[in-house]
């Protein structure tokens, strides 16, 4: 079966409260606020509808596996735009692949450049996890800047942003460049640090009143009417309310990466849960219900779950992304529905909506390094503008991007081979914040 995980990795489980899950007043208040605003009946009504819908969703994914992920061709997409049928599928899956965004030979050359850059500055390039560093804390290398600012890539970023809508007139699909890292993973390196999770914050989804408004339909008993594409509401959400290295200040309409090498299932690639609406609704409602304690009860029957007013949010840690697991989120049927993306070639890109569950391949059993540059799609919004402006100021002052600055980094401007922003065209300079 394509994309099937045969052995479930030793990712963290959140079915019972861990000692490390400290519940403080912020958790208690967040839950109380939602209950006070919406009430048990509406939450339960959504819970039942979402769990029922998940039966269909999970059956569909379990039978199609990664065949469900739309694959588009860059040249066709850029010349003709998204087909209606593609948009309909993307709205459902929340993810897609665009092949051939960077010509393959160029991508291979850019990978060689990145390897040279890392080798030439070895003493200063840091990576994580410490035991097998593959996530490179590099943000301004010539390779990254070449990919982010590539005319085809930038045009694609704008198209990806345009999948969202906004009636407030305060945003646009004009892309901004968020400086993110790169990954270069050698064969044999295990990586269990990023099991099934959703980025763009964790507790803040419930705790920030503006973020909560994004999910108003979910909490109002109309979960399946949730509009996951409303930038007018989402633009105000504070996904960095509780500070943590996992949270980006900016909203990315879609996260994404561009392959510098071939990346295949079980060879250090990405896993996606190819569903958007029902999954995020389930994750948001899950803390308000606890499973039956009677061993004879059917956990998969949502009617048996009891209302939970405790301060526990399973898989929720303030500084981390939102995590899910088999035991804490059983209706997601993660073992059947978390799928490896199809084989990627150098220059291909993968995109997933900021509310889509994903994981980093726990194993790399291939023969070659698996390398990617993280380039998502970042729309123009007031919060994003503010951050990109501060990011540019930091870069020009020789500091790391504010979201990545732990105070211990060495200025990349001093690296051998550093080229800064030379050669950027006008559109790219705008995306890097020069007009802000
Ligand atoms: Fe992630």
- Number of neighbours of residue 75 by Cβ within 10 angstroms: 13
197 CA distance to ligand 1 middle (Å) = 6
pLDDT band at 12 (very low <50, low <70, confident <90, very high): very high
- Number of neighbours of residue 245 by Cβ within 10 angstroms: 11
Q: Write out pLDDT tens, residues 277-319.
A: 999 999 999 999 999 998 899 999 999 999 999 999 999 999 9
42 CA distance to ligand 1 middle (Å) = 30
Whole-prediction pTM: 0.96
Q: Residue 293 class from Cβ within 10 Å (0-12 exposed, 13-18 middle, 19+ buried)?
A: exposed
Looking at the domain 25-405, which fold is it?
Jelly Rolls (2.60.120)
- Structure-token pair, residue 429: 């300079």
Instruction: Give Cβ neighbours of residue 377 (< 8 Å, ≥ 6 apart).
Output: 156, 157, 158, 160, 161, 175, 252, 253, 254, 256, 351
pLDDT recorded at residue 23: 86
297 CA distance to ligand 1 middle (Å) = 34
What phi and psi, each to the nearest 5 degrees, are found at residue 202?
-135, -90
User: Where exactly are the structural domains of the chain?
Assistant: 25-405
Q: Tell me if residue 349 falls in helix, strand or coil.
A: strand
| Residue 3 reports pLDDT greater than 70 | no
pLDDT recorded at residue 411: 86
- The residue-averaged pLDDT of 196-206 equals 97
255 CA distance to ligand 1 middle (Å) = 8
For residues 300-331, one letter each, b for 16 or more C-beta atoms within 10 angstroms of the residue's C-beta and e for the rest, the string is: eebeebeebeebbbbbbbbebbbbbbbebbbb
135 CA distance to ligand 1 middle (Å) = 12
Q: Write out pLDDT tens, residues 64-97.
A: 999 999 999 999 999 999 999 999 999 999 999 9
Instruction: Give Cβ neighbours of residue 158 (< 8 Å, ≥ 6 apart).
Output: 173, 174, 175, 377
- The residue-averaged pLDDT of 135-155 equals 96
Tell me which residue of 292, 205, 198, 235 sits closest to 31, measured CA to CA: 205
Q: Write out pLDDT tens, residues 28-53.
A: 999 999 999 999 999 999 999 999 99
128 CA distance to ligand 1 middle (Å) = 14
330 CA distance to ligand 1 middle (Å) = 21
The torsion of the CA quartet 203, 204, 210, 212, rounded to 10 degrees, works out to -20
């Amino acid at each position: 079966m394509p994309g099937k995980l045969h052995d479930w990795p030793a990712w963290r489980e959140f079915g019972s409260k861990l000692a490390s899950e400290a519940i403080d007043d912020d958790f208690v208040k967040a839950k109380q606020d939602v209950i006070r605003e919406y009430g048990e009946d509406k939450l339960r009504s959504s819970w039942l509808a979402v769990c029922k819908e998940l039966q269909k969703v999970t059956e569909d994914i379990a039978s199609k596996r990664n065949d469900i992920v739309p694959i588009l061709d860059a040249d066709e997409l850029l010349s003709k735009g998204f087909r209606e049928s593609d948009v309909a599928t993307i709205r459902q899956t929340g993810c897609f692949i665009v092949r051939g965004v960077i010509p393959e030979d160029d991508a291979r050359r850019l990978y060689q450049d990145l390897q040279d850059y890392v080798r030439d500055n070895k003493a200063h390039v840091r990576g994580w996890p410490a035991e097998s560093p593959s996530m490179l804390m590099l943000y301004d290398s010539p390779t990254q800047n070449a990919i982010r600012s590539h005319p085809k890539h930038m045009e694609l970023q704008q198209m990806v942003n345009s999948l969202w809508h906004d009636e407030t007139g305060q945003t646009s699909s004009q892309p901004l460049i968020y400086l993110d890292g790169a990954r270069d993973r050698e064969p044999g390196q295990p990586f269990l640090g990023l099991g099934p999770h959703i980025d763009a914050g964790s507790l803040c989804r419930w705790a920030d009143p503006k973020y909560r408004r994004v999910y108003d339909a979910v909490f109002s008993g109309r979960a399946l009417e949730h509009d996951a594409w409303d930038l007018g509401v989402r633009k105000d959400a504070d996904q960095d309310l509780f500070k943590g290295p996992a949270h980006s200040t900016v909203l990315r309409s879609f996260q994404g990466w561009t392959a510098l090498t071939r990346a295949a299932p079980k060879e250090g690639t990405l896993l996606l849960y190819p569903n958007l609406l029902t999954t995020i609704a389930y994750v948001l409602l899950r803390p308000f219900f606890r499973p039956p304690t009677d061993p004879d009860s059917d956990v998969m029957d949502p009617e048996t779950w009891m209302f939970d007013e405790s301060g526990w949010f399973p898989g929720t840690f303030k500084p981390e992304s939102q995590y899910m697991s088999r035991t804490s989120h059983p209706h997601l049927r993660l073992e059947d529905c978390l799928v490896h993306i199809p084989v990627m070639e150098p220059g291909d890109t993968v995109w997933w909506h900021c509310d889509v569950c994903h994981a980093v391949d726990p194993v790399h059993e291939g023969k070659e390094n698996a390398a990617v540059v993280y380039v998502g799609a970042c729309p123009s919004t007031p919060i994003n503008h503010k951050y990109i402006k501060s990011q540019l100021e930091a870069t020009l002052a020789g500091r790391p991007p504010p979201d990545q600055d732990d105070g211990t980094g060495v200025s990349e401007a001093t690296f051998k081979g550093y080229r800064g922003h030379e050669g950027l065209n006008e559109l790219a300079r705008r995306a890097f914040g020069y007009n802000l």
